[in-house]
């Protein structure tokens, strides 16, 4: 027989909505349990357990109770372990964080562990909370790249996705092809031209270790190229266009 089960988990608050007079329904991203819907009873009453209400984009430790015959768990306590208030102090950081959360909501599934996706979101939110002006676009592109890879959607960038041939001199990015292609291999539909330097920078965004990227951040040209590619590819993978793509910093209109 199913029993109640008490446990704690690292968590990111992906969505919050009021429930009744004093409670909240929260959607949490967790590394080992995927997406969790939980009721935070009395969250808006003062008290140490839920600190007067759980805020969007908070990260910390969730104390949960899984209940038999109920889809919604109980959130008994949310302990904030680090200060990410910086996300709310600047519009560029705020939009960037909203976009990270919107992709996380799309890709975190109930009961489906995805520590890589969780880790990428946590790293991106931490970095964005302290991001100097003008650098949010690079962090978004980095998160998109790592989230695509963590959900099995990494585009092929190292060779032509159609014929497998070398693409050292640059190529076209084509969402339906699933990566870069030669001009003569491109399927019909929109594509984006990548010169050799942008393509190499894009590959680095997908593969380089984080300390190396921090030491040598992607150039504005590479961030622009990544934005154009992900503007095509993320809606293609999701089969819809996330609303948060609109106000992203550094976004340019792709020529069709
Ligand atoms: Zn080809």
Distance 157 CA to ligand 1 centre (A): 12
Q: Which domain holds residue 26?
A: 5-80
At 192-224, the pLDDT tens digits run 999 999 999 999 999 999 999 999 999 999 999
Query: Is the confidence at residue 107, as pLDDT, over 60?
Result: yes
Question: Considering 54, 80, 106, which residue would you say is the last residue of a domain?
Answer: 80
Do residues 98 and 67 make contact, with C-beta atoms less than 8 angstroms apart?
no
| Number of domains the chain contains | 2
| Average pLDDT over every residue of 8-16 | 97
Domain with residue 195: its CATH number is 1.20.1440.120
Distance 224 CA to ligand 1 centre (A): 24
Q: Kindly write down the DSSP assignment for every residue of 30-42, as one continuous string.
A: ETTTEEEEEEETT
Distance 193 CA to ligand 1 centre (A): 14
* 153/225 same-domain check: yes
Residue 249 buriedness (CB in 10 A; 0-12 / 13-18 / 19+): buried
Question: Considering 80, 108, 125, which residue would you say is the last residue of a domain?
Answer: 80
In a domain, 251, yes or no: no
Residue 91 to residue 69: CA distance in whole angstroms: 42
In what side-by-side order are the strands of the sheet with 171-174? Answer: 179-181, 171-174, 192-194
What share of the chain has pLDDT > 70, as a percent?
Answer: 93
In a domain, 253, yes or no: no
At 45-100, the pLDDT tens digits run 776 677 678 899 999 999 999 998 888 999 999 999 888 999 999 999 999 999 99
């Amino acid at each position: 027989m199913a029993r109640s089960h008490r446990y704690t988990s690292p968590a990111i608050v992906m969505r919050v909505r009021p429930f009744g007079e004093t409670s909240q329904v929260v959607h949490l991203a967790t590394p080992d349990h995927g997406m969790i819907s939980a009721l935070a009873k009395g969250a808006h009453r003062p008290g140490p357990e839920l600190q007067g209400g759980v805020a969007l984009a908070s990260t910390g430790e969730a104390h949960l109770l899984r209940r038999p015959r109920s889809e919604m768990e109980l959130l008994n306590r949310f302990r904030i372990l680090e200060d990410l208030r910086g996300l709310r102090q600047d519009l560029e950081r705020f939009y960037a964080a909203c976009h990270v959360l919107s992709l996380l909501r799309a890709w975190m599934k109930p009961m489906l562990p995805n520590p890589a996706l969780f880790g990428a979101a946590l790293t991106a939110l931490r970095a964005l909370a302290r991001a100097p002006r003008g650098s949010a676009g690079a962090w978004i592109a980095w998160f998109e790249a790592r989230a695509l890879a963590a959900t099995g959607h990494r585009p092929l960038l190292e060779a032509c996705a159609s014929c497998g041939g070398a693409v050292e001199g640059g190529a076209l990015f084509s969402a339906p092809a699933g990566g870069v292609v030669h001009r003569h291999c491109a399927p019909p539909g929109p594509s984006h031209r990548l010169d050799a330097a942008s393509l190499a920078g894009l590959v680095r965004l997908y593969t380089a270790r984080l300390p190396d990227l921090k030491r040598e951040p992607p150039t504005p040209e590479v961030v622009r190229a990544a934005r154009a590619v992900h503007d095509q590819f993320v809606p293609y993978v999701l089969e819809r266009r996330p609303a948060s793509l609109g106000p992203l910093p550094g976004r340019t209109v792709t020529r069709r």
